[in-house]
Amino acid sequence: MDPLRAQQLAAELEVDMMADMYNRMTQACHRKCVPPHYKDAELSKGESVCLDRCVAKYLEVHERMGKKLTELSLQDEELLRRVQQGTGTA
């Protein structure tokens, strides 16, 4: 696969993953913070605060997971590089 196509696929995958994360976050925070039977057309202060906190926590966890996965990926690449150097293959 040529590098440009691989880069395009990676970008598409990232967009899909971000959309999925957004949809999951929206559903989870709505379910947690907004009662199923609406009383008012607008969010109450408590609902707004709950949603703000829920979204902040969701995004923080997403960021932490991304950093950890990147770290693990770099460790895997380093290990693979060392194994390849040890066996004499490139």
How many Å apart are CA 71 and CA 35, to the nearest integer? 39
Give 89's pLDDT tier (boundaries 50, 70, 90): low
How many Å apart are CA 67 and CA 54, to the nearest integer? 20
- The mean pLDDT value for 53-78 works out to 92
Architecture of domain 3-87: Orthogonal Bundle (1.10)
Q: What is the pTM of this model?
A: 0.69
Evaluate if residue 20 carries a pLDDT over 90: yes
How many Å apart are CA 73 and CA 57, to the nearest integer? 24
Q: What single string gives the DSSP state of each residue in 21-83?
A: HHHHHHHHHHHHHS-SS-SSSS--HHHHHHHHHHHHHHHHHHHHHHHHHHHHHHHHHHHHHHH
Per-domain residue ranges of the chain: 3-87
